[in-house]
Structure 1
Amino acid sequence: MDRLPKIALPVIAVIIVLIILISKSAVTIGSGEAGVLYKTFGGGVVTDKPALGEGFHIVAPWNRVYIYEVRQQEVFEKMQVLSSNGLEIKLDASAWFQPKFEDLGRLHQEKGESYVDRILLPTIRSAARSVVGRYTPEQLYSSKRDAIQQEIFEETKKIVDGQYIQLNEVLVRDVTLPPTIKEAIERKLKQEQESLEYEFRLVTAKKEAEKVTIEAQGKADANRILSASLTDKILQDKGIDATLELSKSPNSKVVIVGSGDSGLPLILGNN
């Protein structure tokens, strides 16, 4: 009986050590995450193998796993940039991005966990300054918002693609101009709109006048053609037809006593 405690103590110690080792060796990677393995005695960051995916993993207790979010993320940035004529513009933008899963080891080794602050944000700022500097405040305020957004995206993507970052979209959320410039642009746009409306009214009036002229010309041409086609015989026949119709009227007593100078019957008398 005295020997049992002496045997049990080493077994318990071994079990405790195993539990500690397993707890330090077990790594659980959550949904939308991936792990970069760092081998303390095996060359440091593992870059020639895929990152550790979601789920439970056992690694040597002397190694370490750095966990990264690999789902799409969003970062916001407020910037002050200059337009083509040197005016200060405030730009609010955001970027949708995610680290490239297949290059996660290299990203960790070369850029580190702060890659957003070290690489992505400075690149967005640089691209925004370059792009906005090509446009006037009027263009920024009105018609070029989509073009600016696309150009910032393309210039940023061209750089960060080589830095193991996948850029999905850049969104320009707000462009703020100096108040005096904004008011001047709004007045100019209003004047341009009023001018366009006035021109439209002039064009409409001109087209209406042309329509009336064309209709009048058509009637004149029709009358000329009709006059040219009427002969004395046709006029006489028309007159006879009209006289016969008039003679059928119940309100008139028609007496035909002869013909007039034109050769048409004469109608005398009515009630």
Structure 2
Amino acid sequence: MERLPKIGLPILIGVVLLIIFIAKSTITIGSGEAGVLYRTFAGGVVTDEPPLGEGFHLVAPWNKVYTYEVRQQEVFEKMQVLSSNGLEIKLDASAWFQPQYDKLGSLHQEKGENYVARILLPTIRSAARSVVGRYTPEQLYSSKRDVIQKEIYEETKKIVEDQYVQLNEVLVRDVTLPPTIKEAIERKLRQEQESLEYEFKLTKAQKEAERQKIDAEGKAVANQILSESLTDKILKEKGIQATLELAKSPNSKVIVVGSGKDGMPLILGNQ
């Protein structure tokens, strides 16, 4: 009976060590994540193999696994930049990005887990300063926001793609100008709108005047042609035709032939 504890103690210790070994040798990669393996005695960070995918993995206890989120993420940045004429502009932007999956080991080895602050944000700020510096406050406030957004995206993407970061989109959410500049631009835009409305009304009035002139000229020409075509013989013929038509009506009347002006008949009736 005294020998049982002596035999059971090493077994117990072995079981505990086995549990610790298993605990240290397993890792679970969550949904939307990937793991970078670091081999302590075999070359450090693994860059020539795919990263560890989602699920359960067995890893030697002396090695380490660094977990990265590989889904699309969003980062926000507020910046103060200068326009082409040196005015300070506040820019509120965000970027959609994710690490390049196949290059995750290289990203960890060269840039580290804090790659967003080290690589992505400084690049966005640099691109924004470069792009905004090409435009005036008026352009930034009105018609050029989409163009600026596209240019910041293209300049940022060109740099971060070589740094193992996949940039999906850059969004310029707000452009804030100094109050005095904003008021001046809005006043100028209102004046331009009023000028366009006045020009539209003036053009409309000119077109209406031209239409009336053309209509009057057409009527004058038509009257002239009609006047020239009505000779004495035609008028007499028309008068005779009208007289004959009146004579056919059932009303009582007296027709005096040749008593009217120019020899036209007169029709006298009691109705």
* Maintained 8 Å contact 1:247/1:253: no
**Alignment map for 1:71-110 (pairs within 5 Å):** 71-110=71-110
SS at match of 2:252: coil
SS at match of 1:221: helix
**What's the counterpart of residue 256 of structure 2?**
257
User: Aligned equivalents of 1:266 and 1:61: distance in 2?
Assistant: 134
Aligned-pair distance for 1:215? 1.2
1:72-115 C-alpha deviation (Å, 9 max, x unpaired): 11111110000111011111100111001011000000000110
Aligned-pair distance for 1:217? 1.7
**Alignment map for 1:31-180 (pairs within 5 Å):** 31-180=31-180
Aligned length: 270
Q: TM-score, normalised by structure 2?
A: 0.93
* Maintained 8 Å contact 1:95/1:170: yes
Aligned-pair distance for 1:213? 1.0
Q: What one-letter code is carried by the residue in structure 1 that aligns with 2:141?
A: Y
Aligned-pair distance for 1:117? 0.4
- Call closer, same or farther: CA 1:74–1:256 in 2, change over 3 Å: same
User: Aligned equivalents of 1:52 and 1:140: distance in 2?
Assistant: 45
Once superposed, what is the RMSD of the aligned Cα atoms? Answer: 1.8
Give the percent of matched residue pairs that are identical in Structure 1 and Structure 2.
78
Aligned-pair distance for 1:5? 4.1
- Call closer, same or farther: CA 1:248–1:7 in 2, change over 3 Å: farther
User: Aligned equivalents of 1:88 and 1:138: distance in 2?
Assistant: 13
- Call closer, same or farther: CA 1:14–1:237 in 2, change over 3 Å: farther
SS at match of 2:48: coil
1:41-91 C-alpha deviation (Å, 9 max, x unpaired): 110000001111111111111000000001011111110000111011111
User: Aligned equivalents of 1:54 and 1:235: distance in 2?
Assistant: 106
Q: What one-letter code is carried by the residue in structure 2 that aligns with 1:223?
A: N
Aligned-pair distance for 1:255? 1.4
1:188 aligns with 2:188: yes
1:217 aligns with 2:217: yes
User: Aligned equivalents of 1:15 and 1:138: distance in 2?
Assistant: 74
Q: What one-letter code is carried by the residue in structure 1 that aligns with 2:65?
A: V
User: Aligned equivalents of 1:237 and 1:8: distance in 2?
Assistant: 146
User: Aligned equivalents of 1:101 and 1:188: distance in 2?
Assistant: 50
User: Aligned equivalents of 2:228 and 2:156: distance in 1?
Assistant: 80
- Which segments of 5 or more consecutive residues in structure 1 lack a partner in the other structure? none
* Maintained 8 Å contact 1:37/1:45: yes
User: Aligned equivalents of 2:263 and 2:7: distance in 1?
Assistant: 153
| Greater Cα shift, 76-85 or 4-13 | 4-13
User: Aligned equivalents of 1:14 and 1:154: distance in 2?
Assistant: 59
Q: What one-letter code is carried by the residue in structure 1 that aligns with 2:140?
A: L
- Which segments of 5 or more consecutive residues in structure 2 lack a partner in the other structure? none
Aligned-pair distance for 1:7? 3.6
| Greater Cα shift, 5-14 or 195-204 | 5-14
- Call closer, same or farther: CA 1:118–1:268 in 2, change over 3 Å: same
User: Aligned equivalents of 1:78 and 1:246: distance in 2?
Assistant: 95
**What's the counterpart of residue 30 of structure 2?**
30
Q: TM-score, normalised by structure 1?
A: 0.93
SS at match of 1:262: helix
